[in-house]
Structure 1
Amino acid sequence: MSDKIHVQVAYALPERQDIVTMELAAGATAQQAVEASGLLQKYPDIDLAKNKLGVFSKLVKADQVLRDRDRVEIYRALIADPKEVRRQRAAEGKVLKKGGGDAEPAA
């Protein structure tokens, strides 16, 4: 077993994403990878107390030990609650169905 692992740390913004590839000591945690990536300095809005972390889209705790070739992802807070957006779309759909003037009759 090697004493080094290769990992990536990814942080995505709406307009771009940053992926940092690095080599760490075996036994390194997700938090250690984020700290070593330099992304905390580059993006001061990242707060490890608030932002969640994941490895290949699966949520993990900051103390999760990484394996070789893992990709740590730093997640941003959601702008809108997905459930509330669906409720609003459903309500709009009901209003359109009640109005009914826009749809053409079926042939």
Structure 2
Amino acid sequence: MSDMIEIEVVYGLPNKQVLLSLPVPVGCTIEEGIKLSGIIKHFPNIIISEAKVGIFGHLETLSTVLKNGDRIEIYRPMTADPKEMRKLRAAKMAEK
């Protein structure tokens, strides 16, 4: 059995997205996977200790142990409350 697994790390902004594939040691955590990926070189504004992260759309902690084939997603902070945005759109549509 191999002592390495394959993972992906992804982060995106409206004008730039990066997906990195890499091997990591078995037992590697999300935090370690992010650091090993080097994605911070592409997005130096990411603060790993404060980042919301997930695997395939499911929110996880930085200490979650990775499995072969996992895709770590680093989520951007929300700039607006989704419920408020829906209310504003609905109100705008009602005005028409």
**What TM-score results when the alignment is normalised by the length of structure 1?**
0.82
> In 1, distance between residues paired with 2:79 and 2:49?
18
Residue 12 of structure 1: CA displacement? 1.1
Q: Which residue of 2 aligns with 1:100?
A: none
Q: Which residue of 2 aligns with 1:74?
A: 74
SS of equivalent residue, structure 1 residue 40 = helix
> In 1, distance between residues paired with 2:21 and 2:59?
20
SS of equivalent residue, structure 1 residue 86 = helix
Q: Which residue of 1 aligns with 2:40?
A: 40
Q: Which aligned pairs between 1:1-107 and structure 2 lie closer than 5 A?
A: 1-96=1-96
Larger strand share, 1 or 2? 2
Q: Which residue of 2 aligns with 1:102?
A: none
**RMSD value over aligned CA atoms?**
1.3
- The residue identity in structure 1 corresponding to 2:32 is Q
- The residue identity in structure 1 corresponding to 2:51 is N
Unpaired stretches in structure 1, ≥5 consecutive residues: 97-107
> In 2, distance between residues paired with 1:45 and 1:28?
23
Percent identity over the alignment?
Answer: 38
Unpaired stretches in structure 2, ≥5 consecutive residues: none
Report how many residues are paired.
96
> In 2, distance between residues paired with 1:22 and 1:61?
20
Kindly name which structure, 1 or 2, has the bigger radius of gyration based on alpha carbons: 1
> In 2, distance between residues paired with 1:45 and 1:38?
13
